[in-house]
Structures are given as structure tokens and as C-alpha cells.
A = this chain, B = another copy of it.
Amino acid sequence: MQQPTRTELAALGEFGLIDRIKQHVKIENKSTVRGIGDDAAVINPDGLQTVISSDLFAEGIHFDLSYTPLKHLGYKAVAANVSDIAAMNATPTQILVNIAVSNRFSVEAIDELYEGIALACENYKVDLVGGDTASSRSGLVISITAVGLAKPEQIVYRNTAKEGEVICVSGDLGAAYMGLQVLAREKQEFTANPEMQPQLSEKDYILRRQLKPEARTDIMYELRELDILPTAMIDVSDGLASEIMHLCKQSGIGALILEDELPIDNLTALTASEFGVLPVTCALNGGEDYELLFTLTQADYEKVRHHPDITAIGITKKAQDGIYLMSKGGNPYPLKAQGWQHFQA
């Protein structure tokens, strides 16, 4: 077997690495006045408002390179940020990427990472316009800033939902979380018995949801075409429960969510039982779904009632009615936001 080429980062240096990264860059948006290569990028909003969001992903916390291909990681990091822009109903247009890498990584590894970043840029039609490359003492850190543009009246905030609206979610929930559980189990089994070949093909869908999630810009563009403006919107990154709490608290309303209506893929439910987890727990607290959670007026809801990829999961209520989940058995439980507890030891 041929050994893969390994070029040390030191052989390129920082400026060499930047030149190499530039090869992954194609500029597609006319709002991109200047990309990589100056002190800063320049964006022409052309009468629109600028929407901007930034996220950081650290090795060992947000990803485990023993089962995350670098190309997928690059794609996912961009998708996660584009998802935030979509949740504002803004058109994603530019990203800036900062990376810190240790010399454990080769030039080829960084190429792979940027291949994934470039693929995401192509799919979401965003331009890579800047960022920073630095070394780190240990591990890989990626920090991405995404920029979008929107007419002021088009921007959808979290705090503008009202009583008596329909709570909708795109796609299905909990799959990325179960994908992560499967990957963690395979890693453990591989560590115990390196000869074992993993049998992962039947888990394709949930693995893809974990490793290469998509931002739901498609849903955002579809709603626009249907002339639907959600009354409030947020993306589901920390788990549905946590996002419902954010949206309700910031809007000053309550909610009733129906367990029966939560969209959970069969494979997610099946895998959850394998692991002895309730599917509803995955859906509520799993996280990394990158679906859109939004509220619609009754009239707008009628336009998407039969949409295969949008599910009504509940209704907004008065604040004093609280935030409840109606179980399959018909009992209301107060909803709790678990969210990520990164800082727990």
C-alpha cells in the first residue's frame, strides 16, 4: 500500500498555508467586495442589514477526530453557522474561518478540512472571505463567523411569537444525538478489539445527521416562496426543549408541545431503544439537529399543513399557562431545558 503524503505545516509556514487555503476559495456573491488578502474583508450590503454569528468548535469537546473525518468536520462547522443565519431568515453570504492547529496535523489534513469548508461554501452559496491560521499547543480549534444579508422587515427574531400560533419544526429530531452514541460505542469496541470491523451501514441516516448535518436554508427559501414570514424562529442546536424555552421566554409566552407530534425518524427511535434511551428524550435534549423551530400564524400554517418536511408540534399559549409537554398518555409535564453542560467536569 502506498503511504499517503505527509507535508509538515512548518515546511509551508503561515503565509504558505494561507496561499494554499486561497486555492479552495471561489467568490460567488456580488456582495463580496473584497475577500482574503487585506486587513479585513469588505461586504456591500446594498441597502440590506447585515446579520452575523460566530461559533467555536474545539477538539475533544465538540468533535472526536477518531471518528470524525476532517472533511465532514469542516462542512459541519460551516453548516452550524449558516444554520444561525437561516434562523434569522437572512441569506447567508460570507464566512470567515479561524483555525488553530498543532503540528500533529499535516498540510494534507488541513487541505481535507478546507475541502469540507469549500464544499459547504458551494452548497450554501457563501464566500470564504477571511480568517486567521494559527498554531495551537494541542488539538484543533475552529472558529467560524457567518454573515448574511436581509431586508430589515424580513429578519425573524426569537422574541416575536404571540399566543395562539402554531409551533413548527423542520425535518426530524434526535438523529444526530443517536448517531453520536453509535460512533462512541464503535470507538469503545474498536479500542477493546481492534480486529473488529464496524457494521455501520445500517446506521447511515443517523451517522450522516451527526457527521454531515445540513443547515435548513432550503426550508427558509421555501417559506419565502410561499410568502410565509414566521412570527419567530430559532435553530435547534442545543436540543428542542432548550430552544422552545428560549423562544417562549424571550417572546413572553407559554407553549403546549405534543409528544405524539414530535418528528422522530424510525432509525432514531430504533437505535434509542437499543441504547435504552427514550426517543422523546433524544428529540427534546439531543442537540445538533440544526433544524429550524418557528411559529406561524394559523393562516400561514394552512399553507404548509401538508409539507412533508414541516411538522406542527404544538401551540403557543399565554405566559401564565407555562411551557408543557403533553405526553402520549395525555399528561402534561413541565418542559425542562437540559442544553449542553460543557462545563461539567
Residues of chain A touching chain B, judged by Cβ–Cβ distance below 8 Å, are 8-10, 12-15, 17, 33-34, 37-45, 47-62, 83-85, 87-88, 90, 94, 96-100, 103, 129-132, 134-139, 141, 143, 145-148, 152, 155, 157-159, 233-235, 250, 339-345
Tell me the number of copies of this protein: 2
Q: Chain B: which residue is nearest A137 at the CB level?
A: B60
- The answer for the CA separation of A14 and B341 in the assembled complex, in Å, is 7
Question: Which residues of B have CB within 8 Å of A48?
Answer: 45
Check B58–A136 contact: CB distance below 8 A. yes
Given contacts A39-B84, A157-B34, contact A14 B134 (CB under 8 A): no
Question: Which residues of B have CB within 8 Å of A345?
Answer: 10, 103
Check B103–A343 contact: CB distance below 8 A. yes
Q: Chain B: which residue is nearest A341 at the CB level?
A: B13
Question: Which residues of B have CB within 8 Å of A49?
Answer: 33, 42-45
Most B Cβ at <10 Å: residue of A42, A50, A250? A50
CB distance from A318 to the nearest CB of B (A): 22
Check A50–B53 contact: CB distance below 8 A. no
Given contacts A61-B136, A100-B58, A141-B58, contact A53 B37 (CB under 8 A): no
Check B39–A43 contact: CB distance below 8 A. no
Question: Which residues of B have CB within 8 Å of A139?
Answer: 137-138
- The answer for the CA separation of A109 and B221 in the assembled complex, in Å, is 43
Question: Which residues of B have CB within 8 Å of A157?
Answer: 34, 38
Question: Which residues of B have CB within 8 Å of A159?
Answer: 38
Check B40–A88 contact: CB distance below 8 A. yes
Contact sample, A vs B, 16 pairs, CB 8 Å cutoff: A10-B343, A14-B343, A37-B158, A38-B157, A39-B233, A40-B53, A40-B90, A40-B146, A42-B52, A47-B47, A54-B132, A54-B143, A56-B98, A56-B99, A96-B145, A138-B139
Check A84–B137 contact: CB distance below 8 A. no
Question: Which residues of B have CB within 8 Å of A132?
Answer: 54-56, 143
Question: Which residues of B have CB within 8 Å of A14?
Answer: 339-343
Check A40–B58 contact: CB distance below 8 A. no
- The answer for the CA separation of A266 and B139 in the assembled complex, in Å, is 41
Question: Which residues of B have CB within 8 Å of A37?
Answer: 158, 250
Most B Cβ at <10 Å: residue of A37, A61, A84, A136? A136
CB distance from A31 to the nearest CB of B (A): 9
- The answer for the CA separation of A344 and B135 in the assembled complex, in Å, is 9
Check B12–A61 contact: CB distance below 8 A. no
Question: Which residues of B have CB within 8 Å of A51?
Answer: 40-43
- The answer for the CA separation of A213 and B159 in the assembled complex, in Å, is 39
